[in-house]
Amino acid sequence: MDPVLLLTILFYTGLIVEAMTGAITAGEQQMDLFGVLVVATVTAFGGGVIRDILLGRSPMLFIAKPELLFLTSAAALIMVIIARYFNKLRWVFLALDALGLITFSIVGAIRAQEMGFGIGVASISGITTGVFGGILRDMLCNRIPLAFRKELYASVSIISVWLYLLLDKFGEPMALSVPLTLVLGFCLRMLAVKYDWRIPQFVYIAKPR
Amino acid sequence: MDPVLLLTILFYTGLIVEAMTGAITAGEQQMDLFGVLVVATVTAFGGGVIRDILLGRSPMLFIAKPELLFLTSAAALIMVIIARYFNKLRWVFLALDALGLITFSIVGAIRAQEMGFGIGVASISGITTGVFGGILRDMLCNRIPLAFRKELYASVSIISVWLYLLLDKFGEPMALSVPLTLVLGFCLRMLAVKYDWRIPQFVYIAKPR
Amino acid sequence: MDPVLLLTILFYTGLIVEAMTGAITAGEQQMDLFGVLVVATVTAFGGGVIRDILLGRSPMLFIAKPELLFLTSAAALIMVIIARYFNKLRWVFLALDALGLITFSIVGAIRAQEMGFGIGVASISGITTGVFGGILRDMLCNRIPLAFRKELYASVSIISVWLYLLLDKFGEPMALSVPLTLVLGFCLRMLAVKYDWRIPQFVYIAKPR
């Protein structure tokens, strides 16, 4: 399968799933439907927006294609309707979310490479695109970002970006590097959720002065 | 009345009122006077700043005219002094806030049109300008954005933007479209506050895994 | 001593110390190591990033020199290891933090001057560079920004910026204005911590409607 087509399909899937996680998080905070739509939009596009700001890239995706807001808004509203079944669909959702995370991470790295940046900036760009949508979502919903706690969530983004960049550096074509990164990143994330793998926490208890 | 002059007057009114809502919210969190000034500034200019970042527009208003910070800082300090009477002035304040919200929304849409964007981006631009100052204020003050809960607050922004863009598309001059949008948006918001109209909430209670 | 070299040394010191305050704050929220690194990075570079966004300045420091992320990440990890001794090192830490705050503030003002901006924008730029790293840190960690409450923290930034700009306006060379601002700002901050000087708070208790 053409890797660019594959990435494109998974990228739109990622937008939809990210919008849906935004909607459900807004629902946990009992926001109204406007809040749901804003949080969904910010979650879906936020990672790319922050990346574009950092890299000085323009125009941003949802300014170039504002019609994409129909896609993410529809996804958010569908989530409002199907939320009662959300628990049963949990594994479907986690699987799509994992694919979205890895896709966003790879796309972020590619965007930086296209602009001529090296591996350092491509890493920053990939990770930012992958996880900052969720971080902004959690800031809007007034909670500690899940990406700072959840099972290897951000780690999967980092590992995916570095695996992709490594394969690319060794001259592997995207037709190999993209699917391989997707499969390995996906397995890692799914195993981490199943067995509750986490990276170590840093617990600091402030002493009273 | 010249619609550009009308918008300009109402825009400065909006800056003042937004700064005041920032000050009062900072006071609810018992911030010091520096916090009050920062929150007031961010509330007054934040919507426009985010719009300018998204549209790639520069220079930003308060960079081009830093002396405007005297205006918003003065407004914030006056609010600190008159806060004890705030409850009695509530309806005056709500009325000015409503005018500011609608003005910011129209101005945001116009800014996008001036840059050659279509209706989709003009909508995003108008809504962002109208409500993101308040969203940033609430994020700085560590609470769920009011715009995601309050009586038709964000909805009034959306409806105002679309009404203005619709009148503009039908070739109506600003001398008609601006006052008409202001009057209708204002009435809608005031009625929503009086009768506690809200749009539906999405309540999702996460089940323990 | 060459003032540019002095500022450069103190600037890197500031990056390290800011990253460490980010790490310790992340630890108070029991974040995992990824969260620690993100919060440390945002704290160290966030003030400069926001300044660059507001001024339309590019490329940003950590995009131009992504290798600086090794510096701030190492600082964050060292803080994780030495956190148990943090209380004993408190005064060392406060002293370095004060120097970092003043350095960031002066550097921010200089960046605006280099771009041809006047005193108003240079003030905004200096204060933003000085305090917004910490504000973003606190927003990521879901708490009211310390800069809005702490002993003259932001005030030291403002006073340092204005002192530097004043000396500069009177034609004093950087070899005088930079060390003088550093010494005076440092003494003010240390005295404020020791004697718990604060600027007045604005306390507003919302009445139920």
Q: What pLDDT score was predicted for residue C180?
A: 96
Q: Tokens 């919008």 correspond to what residue?
A: A19
Task: Tell how far CA C182 is from the center of its chain.
Answer: 13
Interface membership of B155 toward A (CB under 8 Å): yes
Q: What pLDDT score was predicted for residue B87?
A: 81
Inter-chain residue contact B118 with A66, CB threshold 8 Å: yes
C89 — pLDDT class (breaks 50, 70, 90): confident
Q: Average pLDDT of B86-114?
A: 92
Cα separation of the two ends of chain A: 62
> pLDDT (tens digit, 9 = 90+) per residue, C112-149?
999 999 999 999 999 999 999 999 999 999 989 988 88
Task: Return the C-alpha torsion angle B8, B11, B15, B20, nearest 10.
Answer: 120
A89 — pLDDT class (breaks 50, 70, 90): confident
pLDDT at residue A209 tops 60: no
Query: Cα dist. A95→A21, A91, A193, A194, B153 in Å?
Result: 13, 6, 10, 11, 36
C207 — pLDDT class (breaks 50, 70, 90): low
pTM above 0.90, yes or no: yes
C33 — pLDDT class (breaks 50, 70, 90): very high
Closest residue, chain C, to B64 (C-alpha): C121
Interface membership of B63 toward C (CB under 8 Å): yes
Q: What pLDDT score was predicted for residue A136?
A: 96
Interface membership of C58 toward B (CB under 8 Å): no
For residue C174, give how far its alpha carbon lies from the nearest alpha carbon of chain A (Å).
31
Inter-chain residue contact A63 with B117, CB threshold 8 Å: yes
Q: What is the mean pLDDT of chain B?
A: 93
pLDDT at residue A20 tops 80: yes
Q: Average pLDDT of C13-26?
A: 94
CA distance A23 to A30: 10
pLDDT at residue C14 tops 70: yes
Interface membership of A141 toward C (CB under 8 Å): no
Beta-carbon contacts of C94 under 8 Å, excluding residues fewer than 6 positions away, are C190, C193
A207 — pLDDT class (breaks 50, 70, 90): low
Interface membership of C32 toward A (CB under 8 Å): yes
Inter-chain residue contact A66 with B123, CB threshold 8 Å: yes
A-C contacts at Cβ under 8 angstroms = 83
pLDDT at residue A61 tops 60: yes
Interface membership of A49 toward C (CB under 8 Å): no
Closest residue, chain C, to A200 (C-alpha): C32
B-C contacts at Cβ under 8 angstroms = 83
Task: Tell how far CA B129 is from the center of its chain.
Answer: 7
pLDDT at residue B209 tops 70: no
Q: Which residue has the higher pLDDT, A4 or C72?
A: C72
Contacts of A205 in chain C (CB under 8 A): 28
Question: To probe the interface with C, which of B25, B32, B55, B86 has the most C CB atoms within 10 Å?
Answer: B32
Inter-chain residue contact A34 with B154, CB threshold 8 Å: yes
Assign residue B168 a region (left: φ > 0; alpha: ψ between -120 and 50; beta: otherwise).
alpha
Find residues 72-101 of chain C whose CB sits inside 8 Å of chain A.
80, 83, 86-87
DSSP 8-state secondary structure symbol assigned to residue C69: H
Of A121, A123, A145, the CB nearest to C140: A145
> pLDDT (tens digit, 9 = 90+) per residue, C153-180?
899 999 999 999 999 999 999 999 999 9
Are the C-beta atoms of residues C28 and A204 closer than 8 Å to each other? Answer: yes
Here the tokens at position C119 are 């005193």
Q: What pLDDT score was predicted for residue C152?
A: 87
Q: What pLDDT score was predicted for residue A208?
A: 59
Q: Is C149 helix (H, G, I), strand (E, B) or coil?
A: coil
Q: Average pLDDT of C21-41?
A: 94
For residue C38, give how far its alpha carbon lies from the nearest alpha carbon of chain A (Å).
8
pLDDT at residue B127 tops 90: yes
Contacts of C142 in chain A (CB under 8 A): 139, 142-144
Q: What pLDDT score was predicted for residue C208?
A: 59
C1 — pLDDT class (breaks 50, 70, 90): confident
Q: What is the mean pLDDT of chain A?
A: 93
pLDDT at residue B208 tops 70: no
Q: Average pLDDT of A57-71?
A: 95
Contacts of C54 in chain B (CB under 8 A): 49, 60, 63
CA distance B83 to B72: 16
> pLDDT (tens digit, 9 = 90+) per residue, A168-189?
999 999 999 999 999 999 999 9
Here the tokens at position B92 are 């005056």
Here the tokens at position C9 are 């040394």
